[in-house]
């Protein structure tokens, strides 16, 4: 790991003043569970880290007029344990539970989860975000069992790693970003982007910004997340889905279905959501919606199975959302 300068500001303003305009030089450090690994592998070699865990205003979960406010340095474990989150936003609780190591949950933060880099093994071995070698991506002809089945027309084939992202998109959340020159708010659905070149990023955050908080509106949805994971312990979902349903009686008045770990961004299946309008969620309608959600999937050489897994995730998430909770 290359030596770096370490700053430990206590106010947001102070921290923002330390950031620069170029990726790679100064990084925000939250729990460090992703950033430090990247530095150990020399994938990131920043000159300076700005620790934001000492900034009080970035922590805490509170109910506000506009919705539930989740500070960016709230740990995954704090979110998992939060009673109101459990009650109103089980989609988030389940996503948190899926981050299946207590150590990661205790150190890792919600903001860090949203800003973490992809786990694509070519990227992690130093072949770059788009895994280019001799002008061609290594992924389509390579080992792509964990890669994208949607939004994979290139040049990005990795899957977005965040499990909170898809849940927040389903819940219609807003993400607040601050820079030295002010604040802005981005819809969770606009926060994740597919990079078109090696120097672009997977998120809308700019290098001089800090993700300060997340607002999850109180829409009274029935929501759920379902993950298909190979291992119970320390593993990533192979495919997952988060859903949020606005109900009118026992029928759906509007549905948001968002696939996770299958595309370079959380993947909203708009048509599948519409297909549920006015229907009750039954095994049959859930199955239909699941099929619709994956209609456009284009698997690579080694990940056709993920289409099936994503379908199952959608179906089971829908059924879970409407399951009566005791």
Ligand X SMILES: Cc1cc2nc3c(=O)[nH]c(=O)nc-3n(C[C@H](O)[C@H](O)[C@H](O)COP(=O)(O)OP(=O)(O)OC[C@H]3O[C@@H](n4cnc5c(N)ncnc54)[C@H](O)[C@@H]3O)c2cc1C
In the complex, which residues of this chain contact ligand X (CB under 6 A)? 27-35, 52, 72, 76, 98-99, 104, 107-109, 111-113, 115-116, 161-164, 205, 210-211, 234, 236-237
Cβ closest to another protein, residue 3 vs residue 182: 3
Total residues found in the chain within this entry: 326
The full DSSP string for 83-125 is: HHHHHH-HHHHHHHHHS--HHHHHH-BHHHHHHPPP--HHIII
Instruction: For another protein, give the closer residue by CB, 89 or 146.
Output: 146
Nearer to another protein, 72 or 93 (CB): 93
The item of another protein, ligand X, none sharing an interface with residue 244, based on CB under 5 to 8 Å by kind, is: none
Residue 111 CB, nearest approach to another protein (Å): 21
**Neighbouring C-alpha atoms within 13 Å toward the C-beta of 248:** 7
Both tokens of 76, joined, read: 């995954």
d(CA 256, CA 268): 7
Biggest CA pair distance of the chain:
59
Which residue's Cβ has the minimum distance to ligand X? 112
31's contact among another protein, ligand X, none, with CB below 5 to 8 A by partner kind, is ligand X
- Which does residue 232 touch among ligand X, another protein, none (CB within 5 to 8 A, set by kind)? another protein
The entry of another protein, ligand X, none that residue 146 binds, CB within 5 to 8 Å by partner kind:
another protein
Q: Summarize as ranges the residues that interact with another protein (CB under 8 A).
A: 1-3, 42, 100, 119, 121-122, 124-125, 127, 133, 138, 141-143, 145-146, 228, 230-236, 238, 302-305, 308-309, 312
Look at residue 35 and give the partner it binds from ligand X, another protein, none, a contact being a CB closer than 5 to 8 Å depending on partner kind: ligand X
DSSP 153-215: SSS-------SHHHHHHHTT-EEEEEETTEEEEEEHHHHB---SSTT--SBS--TT-EEEEEE
Which residue number, 13 or 282, has a Cβ lying nearer to ligand X? 13
Q: What angle do CA 116, 52, 118 make, to 5 degrees?
A: 5
Nearer to another protein, 77 or 143 (CB): 143
Residues pairing with 75 in the sheet: 109
Supply the angle between the helices 305-322 and 283-293 in degrees, to the nearest 10: 140
Give the count of alpha carbons within 13 A of 207, CB side only: 16
**Cβ 271 to ligand X shortest distance, Å:** 26
Smaller CB separation from ligand X, 67 or 108: 108
Reduce the DSSP state of residue 63 to 3 states and report it: strand
Q: Which does 9 bind (CB under 5 to 8 A by kind): ligand X, another protein, none?
A: none
């Amino acid at each position: 790991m290359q030596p770096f300068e370490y700053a430990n500001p206590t106010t947001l303003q102070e921290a923002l003043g330390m950031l620069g305009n170029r990726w790679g030089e100064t990084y925000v450090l939250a729990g460090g569970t992703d950033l430090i690994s990247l530095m150990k592998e020399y994938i990131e070699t920043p000159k300076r880290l700005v620790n934001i865990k000492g900034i009080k205003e970035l922590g805490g979960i509170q109910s506000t007029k506009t919705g539930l406010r989740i500070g960016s340095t709230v740990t995954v474990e704090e979110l998992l344990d939060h009673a109101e989150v459990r009650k109103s936003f089980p989609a988030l609780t389940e996503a948190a539970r899926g981050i299946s190591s207590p150590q990661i949950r205790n150190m890792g933060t919600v903001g860090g989860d949203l800003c973490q880099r992809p786990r694509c093994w070519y990227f992690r071995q130093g072949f770059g975000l788009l895994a280019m070698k001799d002008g061609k991506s290594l992924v389509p002809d390579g080992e792509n069992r964990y890669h994208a089945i949607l939004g994979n027309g290139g040049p990005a084939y990795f899957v977005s790693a965040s499990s909170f992202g898809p849940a927040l998109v389903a819940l219609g959340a807003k993400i607040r970003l601050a820079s030295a020159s002010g604040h802005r708010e981005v819809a969770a659905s606009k926060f994740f982007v597919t990079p078109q070149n090696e120097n672009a990023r997977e998120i809308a955050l700019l290098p001089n910004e800090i993700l300060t908080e997340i607002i999850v509106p109180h829409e009274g949805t029935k929501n759920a997340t379902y993950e298909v994971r190979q291992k119970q312990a320390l593993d990533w979902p192979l495919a997952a889905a988060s859903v949020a349903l606005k109900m009118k009686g026992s029928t759906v008045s509007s549905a948001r279905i968002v696939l996770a770990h299958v595309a370079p961004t959380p993947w909203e299946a708009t048509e599948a959501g519409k297909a549920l309008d006015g229907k009750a969620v039954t095994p049959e309608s859930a199955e239909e919606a699941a099929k619709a959600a994956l209609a456009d999937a284009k698997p690579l050489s080694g990940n056709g199975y993920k289409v099936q897994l994503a379908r199952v995730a959608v179906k089971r998430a829908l059924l879970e959302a409407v399951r009566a909770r005791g």
